[in-house]
Structure formats: C-alpha cells, structure tokens
C-alpha cells in the first residue's frame, strides 16, 4: 500500500527519508548488533546520538554558548507547570497572552499551583480567531508567555510581540517549531513537543538562555527543575532515547534540505495552495481566522453544514488524504501542513478541494 497524505495535527507525518533511515538502523545500529532502543543511555554510542541532536538544534537556530538545549519528558503540557514553578517566584507574576486551548491549559496549571497570574491579552472575545496586537504587563512580571502557533484554532504569530526591555519572553512553539527562521535572541525560553514538527511523541525540546536559567527557583523536585536537567545533560533519569534519536534524524533532514530558510519557503508554498483553494471558492470554504494571522501549520476552515464537512472528510479519505477533521472545540476541518508534509500532498488537497466544490457546490 502507498502511504497516505497525512494531515494529522500531531503526532504527525515524518519525512520518508527519516523513516527509511530509522528502518535500516532498527535491527542493527551501525554494526553494533542492537537497536538504539536497546542501548544503554550511558553508553558512548548513545552519548554521541544525544550530543549530535543537541548540536543540530544549536546549528539550525544558530545558537551561541549563551543558550542551552534540554530534552525533557511530559510533553509541552509539563512545561505549563514547570515554567511557572521555576520562574514565577519571589513575588514575580506569570504574564500570559491567551490565544487558545493550549494557553488556557497553561493558565489552568498556574492557578492549580496557586501562583500569581496576569492575563496580558486575550483573543477569547472572538473565539480565538486572531492574534492580539497589544498587551499590558503586570507589575513585576516574571515573564511573558505566548503560544506562537495555535494548533486548534489555526492562528500564528507572524511578528514577535514587542516586550518591555528586561521582561523574559517565553514561547510554546510546539506546533511551529523550526518551521521558519526566527530571532531566537528575543526569547529567554522556547519549548516544543517534538510530535508536531520534529519527531515522534515523547520528548519536548527546550531552548533556554543560560542567564535566565540561572534565575530559576532552587530546590524544586528534581524532575521539575530545569537546572537539574541542564547540569545532567538531559540525563538525570533515562531519557526517551529512541525519540531523541528520531529527532536527530529529522534535524539532519532539515539541514540537508537547506535549513530554516528552505523549510519556510516550502511551508509557505504548501499553505498557499490550500488558502488559495479557500479564498477562490466564493465562500464554499470559509477560513476560520483573520487572514493576517493565518497559521502556515494548521489551516482551519468550514463548509456550509456539518453534514457537508463530514462528506468532505470521508471523500478526502477515499482519495488518500487523512487527518482533516477539525478539533472538536473549533469544529470544521483542519489541514496540518507541518515541515515534513511533502509539497505534493498540499497540492493534492487543494486540487481535491476544487473538485469537491464542483461536485457539491
Ligand atoms: C500539541 C500542543 C501542546 C501539547 O503537547 P503535549 O506534548 O501533548 O503535552 C501544547 N502546545 C501546543 C501549541 C501544541 O500544539
């Protein structure tokens, strides 16, 4: 059977080259007579794998010695509590821009921890169909936290927020991590679950400025403490060894492709096919969000009725395209077009949208 065009929101499509390389390595990794899954994480061979993955993150984002890279577990969801536990202390207040389901969860964790919270801006008034253009900080902010791409509603920050000097900016980049070049220097911390753009589920990549890391609360439980992770090279406990290896393969693929400039061009081209199909449909397909804030990673749209949406999704499946059902909270349809989605898949979807409209319009 051929592979499907996979528009899943996460876990999501991986590059074919990466799957084939992993397959070739699976039974007998580089003549060692075992797979990566069966290796000790303390072996020099595994150390080389995690070191190379670490170095690739730094190369791709052009990071200097002022940043560290961590590989943690518990997904981006664990970051929702680790961030405030580590940084909202000494009376400092967590500031959040609320743009959808994920920031709501981040807010929920801060409340459960009983830590001080300030809503710096919110798009809730219009069902998260836009990115707020301004924000107001609290007194004594610990940091400002944003979600750079809203996986469920389909909005994306196309410009970094302008933050008052000295206020650390923290970003949940789970669903647009390494999808385009960014000015990392603006961020004190970036985190991303791997399973959208850079690998299978099981690891979250954290990029953190060392001088910000030095301000973290001390004496936290070990697994919650960024400094414990950093001082142990992300191996305080057994890391998700195979997932980190897979992330390493995806990063090698990104570099072979020509880095983030190339990745971004490819992502723009894919999104354009699909947004053009929406915009040229005379309202048969309706985009859910403000055009200027449209995500290049998660394209959300609706058809006239839920029945028509169900038909669209089932016909698309027959045509070899899966994962197009929107999240239950926003409804409708969603095409996720992460880095690894091949350009022909986006083209095929745009063509299918045109044909479906002709038949049912
Ligand atoms: C998927 C996602 C999460 C949750 O990630 P988990 O790894 O499941 O915890 C958080 N934030 C964003 C933006 C996401 O897309």
What is the pTM assigned to this prediction?
0.98
Q: Take residue 155 and report the two structure tokens written for it.
A: 């909005």
Q: For the domain with range 259-360, which CATH number is right: 1.10.150.120, 3.90.1150.10, 3.40.50.150, 1.10.8.80?
A: 3.90.1150.10
142-160 pLDDT per residue, tens: 999 999 999 999 999 999 9
161-181 pLDDT per residue, tens: 999 999 999 999 999 999 999
Tell how far the Cα of 206 is from the centroid of ligand 1, in angstroms. 13
- State yes or no: pLDDT of 36 exceeds 70: yes
Residue of the nearest CA to atom 1 in ligand 1? 174
Beta pairing partners, 286: 302
Residue 361 pLDDT class (50, 70, 90 cuts): confident
Q: Take residue 58 and report the two structure tokens written for it.
A: 């730094």
* Mean pLDDT of the 15-26 span: 97
* Mean pLDDT of the 89-117 span: 97
Tell how far the Cα of 133 is from the centroid of ligand 1, in angstroms. 23
Class of 17-257 in CATH: alpha beta
279-329 pLDDT per residue, tens: 999 999 999 999 999 999 999 999 999 999 999 999 999 999 999 999 988
Tell how far the Cα of 354 is from the centroid of ligand 1, in angstroms. 32
122 in Cβ contact with 104 (< 8 Å): no
Residue of the nearest CA to atom 10 in ligand 1? 76
Residue 1 pLDDT class (50, 70, 90 cuts): low
User: Which atom from ligand 1 is nearest to the alpha carbon of 149?
Assistant: 13
- State yes or no: pLDDT of 92 exceeds 80: yes
Ligand 1 touching residue 77 (CB < 6 A): yes
Q: How do the domains of the chain map onto residue ranges?
A: 17-257, 259-360
- State yes or no: pLDDT of 233 exceeds 70: yes
327-347 pLDDT per residue, tens: 988 889 999 999 999 999 999
User: Which atom from ligand 1 is nearest to the alpha carbon of 78?
Assistant: 9
User: Which atom from ligand 1 is nearest to the alpha carbon of 100?
Assistant: 13
Quote the CA–CA distance of 283 and 44 in Å, as a whole number.
58
Quote the CA–CA distance of 253 and 18 in Å, as a whole number.
7
Ligand 1 touching residue 295 (CB < 6 A): no
Which residue reads 């020509």 in tokens? Answer: 258
Ligand 1 pocket mutation pick from 77, 104, 176 by most atoms within 8 angstroms of CB: 77
């Amino acid at each position: 059977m051929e592979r499907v065009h996979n528009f899943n929101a996460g876990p999501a499509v991986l590059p074919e080259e990466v799957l084939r390389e992993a397959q070739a390595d699976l039974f007998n990794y580089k003549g060692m007579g075992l797979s990566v899954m069966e290796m000790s994480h303390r072996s020099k061979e595994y150390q080389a794998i995690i070191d190379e993955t670490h170095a690739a993150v730094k190369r791709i984002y052009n990071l200097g010695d002022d940043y560290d890279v961590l590989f943690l577990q518990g997904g981006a969801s664990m970051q929702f509590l680790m961030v405030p536990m580590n940084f909202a202390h000494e009376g400092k207040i967590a500031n959040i821009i609320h743009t959808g389901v994920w920031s709501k969860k981040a807010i929920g964790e801060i409340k459960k921890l009983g830590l001080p919270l300030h809503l710096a801006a919110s798009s809730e008034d219009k069902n998260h169909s836009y990115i707020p253009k301004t924000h107001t900080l609290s007194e004594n902010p610990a940091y400002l936290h944003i979600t750079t791409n809203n996986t469920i509603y389909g909005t994306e920050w196309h410009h970094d927020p302008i933050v008052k000097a000295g206020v650390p900016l923290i970003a949940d980049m789970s669903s647009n991590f390494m999808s385009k070049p960014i000015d990392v220097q603006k961020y004190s911390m970036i985190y991303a679950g791997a399973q959208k753009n850079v690998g299978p589920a099981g690891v979250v990549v954290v990029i953190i400025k060392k001088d910000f890391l030095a301000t973290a609360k001390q004496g936290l439980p070990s697994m919650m403490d960024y400094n414990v992770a950093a001082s142990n090279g992300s191996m305080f406990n057994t890391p998700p060894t195979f997932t980190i290896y897979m992330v390493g393969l995806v990063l090698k693929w990104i570099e072979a492709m020509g880095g983030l400039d190339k990745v971004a061009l490819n992502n723009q081209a894919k999104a354009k096919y699909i947004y053009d199909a929406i915009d040229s449909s005379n309202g048969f397909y309706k985009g859910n969000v403000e055009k200027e804030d449209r995500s290049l990673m998660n394209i959300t749209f609706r058809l006239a009725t839920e029945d028509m949406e169900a038909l669209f999704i089932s016909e698309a499946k027959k045509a070899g395209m899966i994962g197009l059902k929107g999240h239950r909270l926003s409804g409708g349809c969603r095409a996720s077009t992460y880095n690894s989605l091949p350009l022909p898949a986006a083209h095929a979807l745009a063509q299918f949208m045109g044909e479906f409209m002709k038949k049912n319009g």
